[in-house]
A and B are shown apart, each in its own frame.
Chain A
Amino acid sequence: ELKVEQNPLFLSMQEGKNYTIYCNYSTTSDRLYWYRQDPGKSLESLFVLLSNGAVKQEGRLMASLDTKARLSTLHITAAVHDLSATYFCAVPNSGGGADGLTFGKGTHLIIQP
């Protein structure tokens, strides 16, 4: 059974600081997804990582994937309040992903002025 673990589950940080969210998964996968969820809203796709060593950056967020270590990271640089949200990583249940995703429990990120 595929397990996806995120840490930390809760993170309070100050604006301007850097931090990293970690996502570990238990079975082989060559792809991983990061989503953002604002309170009361649906999920918004942030990054699609499709191979070992993949790195994607969007503004102050950068995601990477190490398929050998079964680890993905989401790095936040010089955090701003607008990045406050819950972040989820997700891994396909099978290689093709047609049978859905398994999500981590999410990291609730609060960025304070």
Chain B
Amino acid sequence: SQTIHQWPATLVQPVGSPLSLECTVEGTSNPNLYWYRQAAGRGLQLLFYSVGIGQISSEVPQNLSASRPQDRQFILSSKKLLLSDSGFYLCAWSAHGYEQYFGPGTRLTVT
């Protein structure tokens, strides 16, 4: 069966510091991968998606970036965090456009 991991689970970072969140999927090959952000008390916003290694599409202009160095690894990064980057970051995978399965999430607080 497929599983999706995210780490860290929680993170507190000062404004201006760098960020690296990691997501890995097990039990499937060539998945579509997604990063979403959920601000406090709000819905989910799609940030990035990837249909293959090295292929990244950005949905929202911001100071975040994503990379996919391996087939089942998706990384979300920032060089300098803003207060507005605080939120619950969710990674998801799908088998080429079908149902998306979400990881446990990373709760980021920027102070």
Interface residues of chain A, those whose CB is within 8 Å of chain B, are: 33, 35, 40-45, 48, 88, 90, 92-93, 96-106
Contact = CB atoms under 8 A, between A and B. Distances in A.
B43 A42 contact: no
B104 A100 contact: no
Interface stretch (B13-21, B75-83, B90-98): B90-98
B12 to A, nearest CB: 16
Interface residues of B, number: 24
A43 B59 CA distance: 20
A33 B49 CA distance: 18
Interface of B: 32, 34, 36, 42-44, 46, 49, 51, 57, 59, 90, 94, 96-105, 107
Q: Chain B at the A interface: mostly helix, strand, loop or mixed?
A: strand
A97 B49 CA distance: 11
B51 A98 contact: yes
Contacts of A105: 42-43
Contact of A45 (B43, B51, B99, B105): B99
